[in-house]
Structure 1
Amino acid sequence: MSGTDAGAPRDPAGGAAASDVLLSRTVRDESGKLVATLTRSFGSLDLAEEAVAQAVEEALRSWRVRGVPPKPGAWLLQAARHNALDLLRRDRGMRERLPLLVGDGPGPAEVDGVAPDADERLPLLFGCCHPALSPDAQLALTLRAVCGLTTAQIARATFSAESAVGQRIVRAKRKIGRAGIPLRIPEGAERAERLDIVLTIVSVMYSEAHLVAGGDASADRDLADDALWLARVIADALPREPEALGLLALLAFHRAREAARAVDGALVLLGDQDRTRWDPALLAEARTVLERAARLRRPGRWQLHAAIAACHADAPNASATDWLQVLTLYDMLLAYDRSAVVRLNRAVALARVAGPAAALEEVDALAGTLDRSHLWHAVRAALLRELGRDDEALAADLTALELTANEAERRLLAERLER
């Protein structure tokens, strides 16, 4: 693995820039699979995460000097395995706790030293969503261990402070280690108990692809595709779970609009999108999957989210949107999900049906809950402006601009302020 000719060359102007970019991409693609593989092999999620983190640090130093190896994922796996063994030799406590999380039967085979197929992340996904952990800890740990998101990304996606997210992850790993939580896809009632948080995590993962700090409107295509892929894997593994199908339909509807959502790096809101640019194949997949879910006759929040997306997809243009149907679906959704974000989105539909005053009352009722969200301030500003309260609208838009880190969203808000 010596010499830059073994892999990607370094950037002569920026030194380590090229290898760092490739490492970042490899970590995003491989970290969840590596953690799942090492947890299965060594029986400790904490050990696996630490070993992978050390391997990433070693790659950062080595690849800058020697260049990127031909098989970056295999390189990280080999380094992480070595680190795990070294940690076991040095830590008696870790040796005594093994095997805590190892499931029955042999693990999947490796091919040419490359990590097993990413399906290995599913048992880890369900393991991290064990009811012994709080919902916040389940979400933070899974986004970190399975999806490879950083603490900063998780904090932004969950509207939390980075320090709080870090503490949740540490406490969750300790609890998993002490409780000996197995890594497996549960059955029956136990599966139903954990499935919703698993689907929530995949949804947050998809959303995070569109919230790149400092980025333009273009999504992190790899992360978005990985979330859609995970949704397909879960739906294929659990074909009789209508909510798994509902999430897959929802993400397919959203992914279908991607080409119209981001044009030359600029963000285009749903009402202004060129609908001829929507992907017909993905729209057809979404509708088919949603119909499969409906035939199972067990409604739930992800199916209702997908049904709302279907209303927008069925309208030939924005003015033809059936807002009364959208509002009705949101009213049904409240029986399953009364989160502040759902109530904010419902207020947008309410404005189309009952006017901005009624919607503003609903939005103001969320004060103190979504203060960290730029979307709350942006929606409030639009409603205030419709009511002729321009000074208050300006203040709300300025706050929204201050709170968003995505460059495309900042540009959109700045243009609105100029107008």
Structure 2
Amino acid sequence: MNPLEAELTRIVRANSGRILSALIKVTQDFTLAQDALQDAITQAVQQWPQQGLPQNGGAWLYVAAKRRAIDLVRKESRHHADATQEVLTDLQNDQPETAEWEQDIPDERLRLLFTCCHPALNIDAQVALTLRTLGGLTVREIARAFLASEATIGQRITRAKQKIRTANIPYEIPGQEDIQARRDGVLKTIYLIFNESYTAYEGQSLTREDLAGEAIRLCTILNQLDPDSETAGLLCLMRLTHARRAARQDKAGQLVPLEQQDRTLWDHEEIKEAHTQLLETFTKGEFGPFQLQAAISALHCLAPSWNDTDWQQIYALYGALTTFDRSPIIQLNQAVALAQMGGIGKALDQLNNLESTLRTYQPYYAARADILSRCGQEKAAKLDYDRAIQLSKNQVEKRFLFQKRNALAASVKNFK
């Protein structure tokens, strides 16, 4: 990928949610808005190499997408003439001047978020559609987040858009009572957007700052609009995790695991503020899974060193989490905490029981490889590192896993 293509990708990631929400607001049509944006991106690919990068790439894409949307609306035969004319008038009256485009109007993206998370859609469709439209993720990236196939995710997104159209689901921010009922889907969506930002699937970098910032921003707005303990818990969790981002790679671009990170690089002011917010949330006495995960993250952030981490409390918190969700990933993390407490053999047994459900999950094999090596089972550990490397598409993670496997192979050779 050349520098111009990389910059275009960055601009699309940063602005696709805003552009789509603005277009959908007027056209009330997800597919038309996405088609218009995709055509604008294609136009940018063709023109930017000759004309150079525009001063404001987001505004340029919006102008191009809006013009394409006007063309598509004119050709859309399924609309009544009056409705078509109304949409055209709204589009033509919307002047995307640069100054206006740079103005952040968060309610537009919240409107898109709540539409995607309408209860008429099942929860998996809600999350997949929002990740595709608001987060700008590819079907492949969403499939990774869901541990599902690309074909399955593509079908979910298509059916979700059809359901919105046929059921006449309104494109609006719901009233307070409806917000309460739809919060779970919205929070799950925001969390998956953040998770995808934290380990970019096929990139050279471990983080996507734009997606992480968008997830935190959306959760902040939601917490202001609808204060709730779990919304606040998710916000604290993301802030605590994001505060450690600067230490996750060294100057050479290599992954630095948590136990080896330079904790002076962490944003300790952000950690302090998020921890204070979390403690305030706990005083309400309404505990949920996001708050428990935030508490685990806080224990990592507040520990002066890896060896001083309170693994016993972390293990207990994961146990509490399983009362809300028996997810195999939560059980994986609890087994890792158990190993850190000294129960390596029992932890390995627990991991072996999870393999059938996590056979496509790279962190599973990386975690089991580490525990196998600590149990003296070097050959089995090498096989798990090979599997983890095969499943990883992120180049930074892949290099780190290669190093771990090669170090293991060298130690086995020296032992012989």
User: Quick check: TM above 0.5?
Assistant: yes
Q: Matched residues, percent identical?
A: 38
Q: Which deviates more, 219-228 or 22-31?
A: 219-228
Distance in 2 separating the partners of 1:61 and 1:418: 44
Matched, 1:258 2:213: no
Superimposed CA distance per residue, residues 21-53 of structure 1 (whole angstroms, 9 cap, x where no aligned partner): 332222111111111111111222222222212
Shift of 1:62: 2.3
Correspondence 1:90 to 2:98: no
Alignment partner of 1:219: what SS? coil
Q: Which amino acid aligns with 1:72?
A: G
Q: Which moved more, 1:245-254 or 1:157-166?
A: 157-166
Indicate conservation of the 8 Å contact 1:217/1:266, yes or no: no
Distance across 2 between alignment mates of 1:112 and 1:394: 57
2:4 is equivalent to residue 37 of structure 1: no
Match of 2:211 among 219, 223, 228: 223
Which runs of no fewer than 5 residues in structure 2 stay unpaired?
88-92, 408-416
- The alpha carbon displacement at 1:140 in A equals 1.2
CA distance in 1 between counterparts of 2:376 and 2:82 reads 65
Listed one character per residue, the Cα deviations across residues 183-212 of structure 1 (whole Å, up to 9, x for unaligned) are: 233345532332222222222222222323
Q: 2:324 aligns to what SS in structure 1? A: coil
Give the TM-score of the pair, scaled to structure 2. 0.88
CA distance in 2, matches of 1:213, 1:294: 34
Is contact 2:62–2:96 with CA below 8 Å preserved after alignment? no
Aligned counterparts of 2:386 and 2:306: Cα–Cα separation in 1: 27
Matched ranges for 1:237-276 at <5 A? 237-238=225-226, 240-264=227-251, 265-276=253-264
1:60 counterpart = 2:45: yes
Q: Does 1:132 align with 2:120?
A: yes
- Equivalent runs, 1:11-22 vs 2, <5 Å: 17-22=2-7
Deviates more, 1:396-405 or 1:180-189: 180-189
Q: Tell me the C-alpha RMSD between the 2 structures.
A: 2.5
Query: How far is the alpha carbon of 1:20 from its aligned partner?
Result: 2.8
Q: Does 1:381 align with 2:369?
A: yes
Which letter does structure 2 place at the counterpart of 1:66? Q
Range with greater deviation from structure 2 (85-94 or 367-376):
85-94
- Equivalent residue for 1:179? 167
C-alpha contact (below 8 Å) 1:261/1:267 kept by paired residues: yes
**Aligned partners of 1:155 and 1:178: how far apart in 2?**
25
Change (3 A) 1:217 1:112: closer
Segment of structure 1 superposing worse, 374-383 or 185-194: 185-194
- Where in structure 1 are there 5+ consecutive unaligned residues? 1-13, 103-107
How far apart, in 2, do the equivalents of 1:97 and 1:234 lie? 36
2:110 is equivalent to residue 122 of structure 1: yes
The residue identity in structure 2 corresponding to 1:237 is: L
Task: Tell me which of 354, 357, 366 is aligned to 1:366.
Answer: 354
Q: Across the two proteins, how many residue pairs are aligned to each other?
A: 397
Partner of 2:354: helix, strand, or coil? coil
**Mapped partners of 2:55, 2:370: distance in 1:** 52
SS at the partner of 1:372?
coil
The correspondence for 2:391, drawn from 391, 403, 409, is: 403
Whether 2:307 is the aligned partner of 1:322: answer: no
Contact 1:26 1:73 in 2 (8 A): yes
Q: 1:150 to 1:287 in 2, by over 3 A?
A: same
Q: Which moved more, 1:77-86 or 1:23-32?
A: 77-86
- Superposed CA deviations along residues 209-234 of structure 1, whole A, max 9, x for unmatched, are 23234544542223222222222222
The equivalent residue for 2:178 is 190
- Residues of 2 paired with 1:18 and 1:380: CA distance? 38
Aligned amino acid, residue 34 of structure 2:
E
Matched AA of 1:211: T
In the superposition, relative to structure 1, how do residues 184 and 365 fare at CA in structure 2: closer, same or farther (>3 Å)? farther
Moved more, 142-151 or 210-219: 210-219
Q: CA 1:316–1:54 in structure 2 vs 1: closer, same or farther (change >3 Å)? A: same
Between the aligned partners of 1:412 and 1:376, the Cα distance in structure 2 is: 15
Q: Supply the distance in 2 between the matched residues of 1:151 and 1:216 (Cα, whole angstroms).
A: 19
Name the aligned partner's letter for residue 274 of structure 2. Answer: A
47-56 or 221-230: bigger deviation: 221-230
**Number of the residue aligned with 1:345:** 333
1:93 partner SS: coil
Whole-Å Cα distance in 2 between the matches of residues 125 and 97 of structure 1? 28
CA contact (8 A) 1:217 1:267 kept: no
Matched, 1:75 2:51: no
For 1:146, the equivalent position in structure 2 comes to 134
Stretch moving more, 60-69 or 342-351: 60-69
1:267 & 1:98 partners in 2: Cα distance? 54
**Which residue number in structure 1 is paired with residue 34 of structure 2?**
49
CA distance in 2, matches of 1:63, 1:418: 43
Distance 1:229 1:91 in 2: 35
Q: Determine helix, strand or coil for the equivalent of 2:341.
A: helix
Matched-pair contact (CA < 8 Å) for 2:202–2:393: yes
TM-score (norm. length: structure 1):
0.88
Letter of the aligned partner of 1:31 in structure 2? Answer: S
Aligned to 2:8: 23
CA contact (8 A) 1:248 1:289 kept: no
Query: Residue 305 of structure 1: CA displacement?
Result: 0.6
Equivalent residue, structure 2, for 1:166: 154
SS of residue matched to 1:396: helix
Structure 1: distance between partners of 2:268 and 2:95: 37
Equivalent residue, structure 2, for 1:310: 298
Give the counterpart letter for 1:258 in structure 2: R
